[in-house]
Amino acid sequence: MIPTSLYFWKRLWFIGLSALVFLASSSLSFAGDIKLLAGAGITTQILPLAGASAALSYQSDDTSLFFLPAFKSETALTYYNLSGTGQLTRDGVTGTVGVTLVAYELDYFATVDIAGLRIGPGVGYGVATTTEGLSISGGNQLGDPSPFFSANDIHYGVLMLKVSKSWSFITCDGIGSSFGGLIGGSLLCGVLF
């Protein structure tokens, strides 16, 4: 059976476009590393969300441009599946809220070597789906204490800061980011080849 949902095809298009950009960036320079990472992600605002995170990235060898120090460019396709449940109150309405956020991001980082760590900023573009479950327990039964909502095809920009450390063929990345407005981050470890 062929899916007919417009959201399904838009998400497939975004993943395909991300893969093409990833492949194009990796073919600009033959020297570099592929990183396959998995770990955990978390957000800290409003209702904390936590869950799985994974990334496939290409990291170039050191490059120098004009007056800038030598840096490595990294392009990553990142996946998040985060969820959380909690009690929220707003405008006199109290309820139990459950939220799931699934997102795909295309990210770019520029990192420099500082005392054996790769540190640098990043930018990204993401597409997310949120699902909200709500059970009102007090106040106006028609109210919604949660700033979240159920929606497909949420597009967002993201600013990030990455700290990375590699040992032989093992690597770990700590990433602080905005998750499309939710402050959080992820810790990912995996293989470098």
Tens of pLDDT, residues 39-90: 999 998 889 999 999 999 998 876 666 666 778 889 999 999 999 999 998 8
Flag whether pLDDT at 3 surpasses 90. Answer: no
Predicted local distance difference test score (pLDDT) of residue 29: 47
- As a whole number, the mean pLDDT across the chain is 85
**Residues 138-162: pLDDT tens digits?**
777 777 888 888 999 888 999 999 9
Identify whether the C-beta of residue 158 lies closer than 8 Å to the C-beta of residue 115: no
Q: pLDDT-derived band of residue 26, with 50, 70 and 90 as boundaries?
A: very low
Flag whether pLDDT at 105 surpasses 80. Answer: yes
pTM: 0.79
**CA-based torsion, 135, 136, 141, 147: positive or negative:** negative
Quick one: three-class SS letters along the chain?
CCCCCHHHHHHHHHHHHHHHHHHHHHHHCCCEEEEEEEEEEEECCCCCEEEEEEEEEEEECCECCCCCCCEEEEEEEEEEEEEEEEEEEECCEEEEEEEEEEEEEEEEEEEEEECCEEEEEEEEEEEEEEEEEEEEEECCCCCCCCCCCCEEEEEEEEEEEEEEEEECCEEEEEEEECCCCCCEEEEEEEEEC
Of 20-29, 60-69, 102-111, which gets the smallest average pLDDT?
A: 20-29
Can you tell me the mean pLDDT for 94-122? 93
